[in-house]
C-alpha cells in the first residue's frame, strides 16, 4: 500500500503492532494522541481507535523500537545472530538443507527456517564456526 510505513519484515511476517505507547489525551470521540518515541517523529501523533490495540502481556506480539536503529524511511536491517538448528527436507526428487536462524531484535520464538545455501551466501560468517 502506498504511504504505509512498515516496521521489520515485509509481508505476512511483519509485526502487526509496535509499542506499547501511552495515550496522552483523547482527541474527539474516536481519536487518541499517543506519546511516541523521538525516532518516530515523522509519524503523526493522533490515531483513530480502530488502529490501536490494547496492550496485552504477550510479549511476542510486541516489537520494541528502542534499540532498532531506524533509517530515515523508518526501516531497519534484519541481521542474523546465530544458527539454532539444522534439518534436511526430503522432497520426491531432491533434498533441501535448511537452518533455523535467530534474528537480532527477535526472541527465540521469532527464529525462522531459511534455505542453507541462501543463508551461507548472504551471511558466511555464521558458518565459519
pLDDT for 38 beyond 80: no
pLDDT in tens, 60-102: 656 666 665 666 666 667 889 889 999 999 999 999 999 999 9
Buried b (16+ CB within 10 A) or exposed e, 72-98: eebebeeebeebeeeeeeeeeeeeeeb
Helix ranges restricted to H, the chain? 116-122
* DSSP secondary structure code for residue 79 in this structure: -
pLDDT for 4 beyond 60: no
Please provide the average confidence, as pLDDT, over all residues in the chain. 78
List the domains of the chain with CATH numbers: 1-73 (no CATH), 80-127 (2.40.50)
Amino acid at each position: 500500500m502506498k504511504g504505509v510505513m512498515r516496521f521489520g519484515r515485509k509481508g505476512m511476517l511483519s509485526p502487526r503492532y509496535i509499542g506499547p505507547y501511552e495515550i496522552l489525551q483523547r482527541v474527539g470521540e474516536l481519536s487518541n494522541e499517543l506519546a511516541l518515541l523521538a525516532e518516530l517523529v515523522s509519524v503523526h501523533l493522533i490515531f483513530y481507535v480502530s488502529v490501536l490495540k490494547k496492550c496485552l502481556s504477550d510479549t511476542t506480539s510486541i516489537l520494541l523500537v528502542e534499540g532498532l536503529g531506524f533509517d530515515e524511511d523508518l526501516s531497519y536491517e534484519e541481521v542474523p545472530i546465530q544458527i539454532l538448528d539444522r534439518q534436511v527436507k526430503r522432497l520426491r526428487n531432491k533434498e533441501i538443507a535448511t537452518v533455523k536462524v535467530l534474528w537480532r531484535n527477535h526472541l527465540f520464538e521469532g527464529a525462522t527456517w531459511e534455505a542453507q545455501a541462501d543463508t551461507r551466501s548472504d551471511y558466511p560468517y555464521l558458518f565459519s564456526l
